[in-house]
Amino acid sequence: MSVERVHRMSYAVDAAAPAGALYTLVADVTQWPLFLPDTVHVERLDFDGVADRYVRWADAGGELRRSLVRRTLDAGGRRVLFHEERPDAPVTASGGSWCVEELAPGWSRLNLEREITLDGGRAAEAERAVARAEESAWAALGGLRVAAERWRRLDELTVSFEESVRIEGPAEPVYEFLYGVGSWPGRVAHVLEAEVSEDRPGVQRTRLVNLADDGSAYATEGSRVCFPAAGRIVFKRTRPHPLLAAHAGEWCVEPDVSGVTVSCRHDVLLDERAVGRRPGPGAEPAAELAAARRYVREVVGRESRAVLEPATRYAGDPVRTLRSV
């Protein structure tokens, strides 16, 4: 009979940001795909203001893994307790806490305490699990620190929007088209090449070569998690458009009695180093940022519409409405 082992880990990082701003980023898990490099998608299942429960898809050691987490949030104490439900073997239990300390005006410290219990009979797997946990912890601390230090302009650096199309036709062929991203070259105007691999059915890795509006080509890479029964595909571009630091979103196919609504939601984080490329050298920072927001909204929106248009033809029915929200 193997003996379980408890592994305790403690991490901390200082940020040039107010404690309240840093705590807000820890508490709002829905924004983690934009700030945490390993996080592909987070979906909150329950939230009552004090306790929440969410599903997180994240890259762990080159494999996309799903975790189900419960948390208790203490906004006054800037502390979050968490516990993972049904962790993957060889981990038998996993939990810990986030805590934000104010060091001085405009400076704060983020502490992460983790405790995982491991099956003692699986030494090699246990070592890999500890290494994955440590890599994830440092990635989270680093991502949250960088985001917190942009707190004054973070709202201006993030852009969220949705494109949708109304189709009088069945949902199944539309979802099939969106799922089959490997078939997009020659069918989607800006996609020149597409490579797709599946870790397991419905969990995809993609690499696309895209045509930019100036005639040049650029590559994007990403992860997608597909839910056929719900008509959803959530995604994150781990190598996004050159003007973006992060890009996540969701394709959704919603049937009703008269047809189907197909939508694509985008959440993007502008890359500050690239913002100066719009509208040109010498522009005021505010003008550069506003121009970059408009340009990204235009380019990313046009690309998603370029996918939606052939999807409607694939369904075999005419487009009735095309709109942006």
Residue 45 burial (C-beta neighbours within 10 Å; 0-12, 13-18, 19+): exposed
Task: Give the model's pLDDT for residue 275.
Answer: 76
Decide: helix, strand or coil at residue 140: helix
Contact in structure between 35 and 42 (CB atoms under 8 Å): no
Range in 60-64, 119-123, 136-140, 242-246 the model is least confident about: 119-123
CA 286 to CA 278: how far, in whole Å?
11
At residue 61, does pLDDT exceed 80? no
Contact in structure between 174 and 253 (CB atoms under 8 Å): yes
Contact in structure between 97 and 118 (CB atoms under 8 Å): no
Q: Where are the alpha helices (DSSP H) in 213-284?
A: 272-275
Contact in structure between 235 and 223 (CB atoms under 8 Å): yes
> Residue 287, Cβ neighbours under 10 Å: how many?
13
Half-sphere exposure of 193 (CA within 13 A, CB side): 8
pLDDT in tens, 233-270: 999 999 999 999 999 999 999 999 888 999 999 999 99
Cis peptide before 105 (omega within 30 of 0): no
- Residue 311's H or E segment, with its range, is helix 285-315
Task: Give the model's pLDDT for residue 317.
Answer: 47
Q: Could you tell me the pLDDT band of residue 276, with boundaries at 50, 70 and 90?
A: low
pLDDT in tens, 134-143: 999 999 999 9
Query: Which residues are bridge partners to 254 per DSSP?
Result: 261
Mean pLDDT score of the chain? 90
Contact in structure between 234 and 250 (CB atoms under 8 Å): yes
What is the arithmetic mean of pLDDT over 186-198? 95
> Domains in the chain, please, with CATH?
5-148 (3.30.530.20), 154-324 (3.30.530.20)
Decide: helix, strand or coil at residue 282: coil
At residue 298, does pLDDT exceed 80? yes
Phi, psi of 143 (to 5 degrees): -65, -40
Give 231's contacts (C-beta < 8 A, 6+ positions apart): 171, 175, 252, 253, 254, 255
Q: Could you tell me the pLDDT band of residue 126, with boundaries at 50, 70 and 90?
A: confident
At residue 223, does pLDDT exceed 50? yes
Residues in the chain: 325
Q: Could you tell me the pLDDT band of residue 318, with boundaries at 50, 70 and 90?
A: very low
Contact in structure between 169 and 317 (CB atoms under 8 Å): yes
